[in-house]
Amino acid sequence: MAANKKQSQLDKETLIIIVVLCVAFFWTVNRILSSDDSKQEVVDKSNVETSENATKKKKVNKANIPLATGKEPIDKIFIQSGCAVCHIIPGILVAKGREGPKLELGTNAPKRLADPNYRGTAQTEWEYVQESILNPGVYIVEGYRDRVMPRWYGQKLSARALDKIIKYLLKIEEVS
């Protein structure tokens, strides 16, 4: 009888140990799963933040645009000046903006000059591109709005940077 009692006590102890182990096991699993969840939340939050940043960056703000000296490579000028935010510029991978027309001035500058609605003062294609950067309000490309393209690029582009831009843009022809 005494041995039997001892035996059943042992069984009880084993049972308790098993239960405790089970509880500990599920608790650990639960902890791991929930810590994964919270990590996931952090990742999600940072995604939201970066996309918020991206939309904030989309606003081309005069105060944030540095002066381009013209010593920079052309892609850097287009990116740092914000052109890439609003324009598709062939050859510049990140320039995928849709606010303004695709910049294919090799094809389009002559078309603008020939447009009966053209009211600017440019006589040559070079002058047209220069005018549309320094004084965008003079002629608005059909289908686009005035006052979207900033009017202060004269203060942010050195003569050398402007020349580099115009030279680049006039080489781009429409691929059809």
Which residue's CB is nearer to ligand HEC, number 2 or number 159? 159
Contacting residue, 79, 95, 108, 170, with ligand HEC by CB under 6 A: 108
Q: Dihedral sign for Cα 116, 98, 129, 56, please.
A: positive
Q: Which residues 6+ apart lie within 8 Å of 26 measured at CB?
A: none
| Binding residues among 110-149 for ligand HEC as defined by CB under 6 A | 112, 129, 132-133, 136, 140-141, 144, 148-149
Provide the minimum distance between the beta carbon of 53 and ligand HEC in the complex, in angstroms, as a whole number.
Answer: 17
What is the 8-class DSSP label of residue 171? T
- The residue from 99, 121, 124, 154 that contacts ligand HEC (CB under 6 A) is 99
Range in contact with ligand HEC (rule: CB under 6 A) among 9-17, 20-28, 35-43, 84-92? 84-92
Size of site (CB under 6 A) for ligand HEC: 27
Nearest to 167, CA basis, from 140, 133, 143: 133
Tell how many helices (H) and how many strands (E) occur in the chain.
Answer: 6, 0
Cα–Cα dist 9/17, whole Å: 12
Alpha-carbon gap, residue 141 to 105, rounded angstroms: 12
CB 158, min distance to ligand HEC, A:
12
From 70, 101, 106, 120, residue interacting with ligand HEC (rule: CB under 6 A): 101
Q: Segment near ligand HEC (CB under 6 A), from 8-16, 28-36, 98-106, 119-127?
A: 98-106
The answer to whether residues 121 and 131 touch, using CB atoms and an 8 Å cutoff, is yes
Helix, strand, coil abundance in the chain, percent, nearest 5: 60, 0, 35
Site for ligand HEC in 22-81 (CB under 6 A): 60, 81
- CB contact at 8 A, 126 and 118: no
List contacts with ligand HEC (CB under 6 A).
60, 81-83, 85-87, 99-101, 103, 105, 108, 112, 129, 132-133, 136, 140-141, 144, 148-150, 153, 165, 169
